Amino acid sequence: MGTTRGTAADEPIDPAWKGVRRSFTGYLSVECGLAPATLTAYGRDLRELLIDLTAAGVTEPGGITPGHLTSHVARLSKTDGLSGSTVARHL
64-89: per-residue pLDDT in tens?
999 999 999 998 888 888 888 888 87
How high is the pLDDT of residue 10? 57
15-30: per-residue pLDDT in tens?
989 999 899 999 999 9
Task: Tell me if 79 sits within 8 A of 51, measured CB to CB.
Answer: no
